């Protein structure tokens, strides 16, 4: 790899980290000036990683301002300073944000899940006759759920009201978490570029060889799929008289809760299936049921970018959940939400997929 090539791959991450550092200073000043408020003030009491009460309240925003000023210089760091950029990535990507980012992404995926399930069920059917049968079955299921109450108009209205009301109640705090995560990912990109420059003249380690990556990547993909089963199947139990983690009476009295749970469960299981695509042929070639694209090569970024984002969110949740004490109060959540395994496994599967696709290209 030439010096010019390294510089060209380095510029986007360095520029993103520099611009992010510019915004850190005014955000820190805002938080410092807003007594009892500011963008990083959670509307409810936040049970995350916080400073002890003995520290002054101005410490955190002051550190943010200092981090912004330091980041302006560090964005163009030399390779030997990669531990400093890695520290920026760890703090702002893993320690500042909470599980709220995953919750928001999960509810967004659940919101679109009915359309995905309905359209997907028709597309995967082979032949015109089977597509008509699939469409009829989808219509029958929807009608039954409307009559049962899960998809009743009043339930859907309450669902949208709860979602929009919850977001409005949070104010700008979710945006602050997104900002922190974006900065952490930018610094992670800078760190990766610096490490790449350090080993530009060295041979790649053997485990990065495409044939070896195919083996451990497949194992990682199947492990990620297995991690999706506990939560997804536990939500499917809400269709039975023996729901898990909630009483049947509560679900009967709150159809919106049942609907959200089922949609989140289907989203989780669908995501688990997509994990397998990182190690299967249909993850490299569009399958037969994708209109106009069937048989063509899947652009690598179409698979890699979503997988990396989700792997990050799962890893973040794996760190955030223990800090909130949820596992201590409900130890069964360790099995239901195996994020500490799920996130890294999905990230490894995405890395192996990228290695294989680059070797193929």
Domain that holds residue 240: 210-361
**Are 79 and 196 contacting, i.e. CB atoms less than 8 angstroms apart?**
no
DSSP-assigned states of every residue in 64-129:
HHHHHHHHHHHTT--GGGHHHHHHHHHIIIIISS-THHHHHHHHHHHHHHHHHHHHHHHHTS-HHH
Judged against a pLDDT cut of 70, whether residue 56 lies above it is answered with no
User: Domain check: are 29 and 177 in the same one?
Assistant: yes
Q: Which two tokens stand for residue 41?
A: 């003030």
Judged against a pLDDT cut of 60, whether residue 9 lies above it is answered with no
Which pTM value belongs to this model?
Answer: 0.81
Q: Which two tokens stand for residue 139?
A: 């219509």
203 part of a folded domain:
no
Judged against a pLDDT cut of 70, whether residue 328 lies above it is answered with no
The pLDDT, as a whole number, for residue 325 is 55
Q: How many residues does the chain have?
A: 361
Using alpha carbons, select from 30, 43, 36 the residue that is nearest to residue 57: 36
Mean pLDDT to the nearest integer, 172-193: 90
* DSSP state for residue 205 in the 8-state scheme: P
131 part of a folded domain:
no
Cα(137)–Cα(283) distance, integer angstroms: 28
Cα(169)–Cα(171) distance, integer angstroms: 6
- Residue 335's Cα: distance from chain center in Å? 19
35 part of a folded domain:
yes
Judged against a pLDDT cut of 60, whether residue 71 lies above it is answered with yes
Q: Which two tokens stand for residue 136?
A: 């009829």
Mean pLDDT to the nearest integer, 208-225: 92
User: Domain check: are 186 and 256 in the same one?
Assistant: no
113 part of a folded domain:
no
User: Domain check: are 225 and 350 in the same one?
Assistant: yes
Cα(67)–Cα(56) distance, integer angstroms: 18
73 part of a folded domain:
yes
User: Domain check: are 242 and 328 in the same one?
Assistant: yes
Cα(267)–Cα(257) distance, integer angstroms: 15
185 part of a folded domain:
yes
92 part of a folded domain:
yes
pLDDT-based confidence at residue 189 (cuts at 50, 70, 90): very high
The pLDDT, as a whole number, for residue 2 is 41
The pLDDT, as a whole number, for residue 185 is 92
User: Domain check: are 291 and 182 in the same one?
Assistant: no
The pLDDT, as a whole number, for residue 1 is 40
User: Domain check: are 229 and 194 in the same one?
Assistant: no
Cα(250)–Cα(258) distance, integer angstroms: 9
**Are 277 and 349 contacting, i.e. CB atoms less than 8 angstroms apart?**
no
User: Domain check: are 292 and 186 in the same one?
Assistant: no
Residues near 53 by Cβ (< 8 Å), separated by ≥ 6?
Answer: none
Judged against a pLDDT cut of 90, whether residue 306 lies above it is answered with yes
The number of distinct structural domains making up the chain is 2
Segment holding 244, helix H or strand E: none
The pLDDT, as a whole number, for residue 92 is 93
**Are 124 and 277 contacting, i.e. CB atoms less than 8 angstroms apart?**
no
Residue 150 CB-density burial (10 A; 0-12 exposed, 13-18 middle, 19+ buried): buried
User: Domain check: are 183 and 236 in the same one?
Assistant: no
User: Domain check: are 190 and 270 in the same one?
Assistant: no
Cα(111)–Cα(314) distance, integer angstroms: 19
The pLDDT, as a whole number, for residue 5 is 39
Cα(14)–Cα(74) distance, integer angstroms: 9
User: Domain check: are 228 and 352 in the same one?
Assistant: yes
Judged against a pLDDT cut of 90, whether residue 361 lies above it is answered with no
DSSP-assigned states of every residue in 246-287:
S-HHHHHH-HHHHHHHHHHHHHHHHHHHHHHHTTSGGGTB--
Judged against a pLDDT cut of 90, whether residue 314 lies above it is answered with yes
**Are 286 and 298 contacting, i.e. CB atoms less than 8 angstroms apart?**
yes
**Are 64 and 31 contacting, i.e. CB atoms less than 8 angstroms apart?**
yes
User: Domain check: are 192 and 263 in the same one?
Assistant: no
CA distances from 57 to 32, 123, 283 (A): 8, 56, 49
pLDDT-based confidence at residue 97 (cuts at 50, 70, 90): confident
The three state secondary structure string of 132-196 is HHHHHHHHHHHHHHHHHCCCCHHHHHHHHHHHHHHHHHHCCHHHHHHHHHHHHHHHHHHHHHHHH
273 part of a folded domain:
yes
The pLDDT, as a whole number, for residue 74 is 92
User: Domain check: are 176 and 321 in the same one?
Assistant: no
């Amino acid at each position: 790899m030439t010096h010019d090539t390294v510089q060209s791959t380095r510029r986007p991450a360095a520029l993103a980290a520099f611009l992010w550092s510019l915004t850190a200073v005014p955000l820190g000043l805002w938080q410092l000036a807003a007594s009892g408020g500011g963008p990083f003030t959670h509307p409810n009491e936040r049970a995350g990683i916080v400073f002890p009460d003995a520290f002054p309240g101005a410490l955190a925003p002051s550190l943010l301002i200092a981090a912004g000023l330091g980041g302006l210089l560090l964005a163009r760091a030399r390779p030997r300073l990669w531990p400093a950029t890695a520290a920026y990535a760890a703090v702002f990507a893993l320690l500042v944000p909470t599980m709220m980012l995953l919750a928001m992404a999960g509810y967004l995926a659940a919101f679109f899940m009915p359309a995905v399930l309905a359209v997907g069920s028709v597309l995967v059917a082979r032949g015109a006759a089977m597509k008509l049968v699939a469409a009829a079955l989808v219509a029958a299921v929807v009608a039954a759920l409307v009559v049962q109450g899960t998809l009743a108009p009043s339930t859907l209205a309450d669902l949208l009201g709860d979602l929009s009301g919850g977001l409005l109640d949070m104010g700008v705090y979710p945006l602050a978490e997104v900002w922190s995560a974006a900065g952490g990912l930018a610094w992670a990109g800078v760190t990766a570029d610096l490490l790449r420059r350090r080993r530009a003249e060295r041979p790649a380690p053997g485990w990065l060889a495409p044939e070896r990556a195919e083996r451990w990547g497949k194992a990682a993909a199947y492990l990620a799929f297995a991690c999706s089963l506990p939560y997804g199947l536990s939500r499917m139990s809400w269709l039975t008289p023996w729901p898990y983690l909630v009483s049947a009476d509560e679900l009967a009295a709150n159809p919106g809760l049942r609907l959200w749970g089922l949609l989140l469960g289907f989203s989780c299981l669908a995501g688990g299936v997509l994990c397998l695509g990182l190690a299967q042929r249909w993850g490299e070639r569009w399958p037969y049921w994708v209109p106009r694209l069937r048989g063509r090569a899947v652009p690598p970024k179409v698979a890699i970018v979503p997988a990396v984002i989700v792997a990050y969110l799962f890893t973040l949740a794996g760190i955030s959940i223990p800090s909130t004490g949820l596992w201590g109060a409900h130890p069964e959540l360790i099995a239901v939400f195996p994020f500490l395994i799920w996130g890294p496994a999905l990230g490894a599967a995405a890395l192996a997929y990228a290695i294989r696709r680059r070797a193929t290209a």
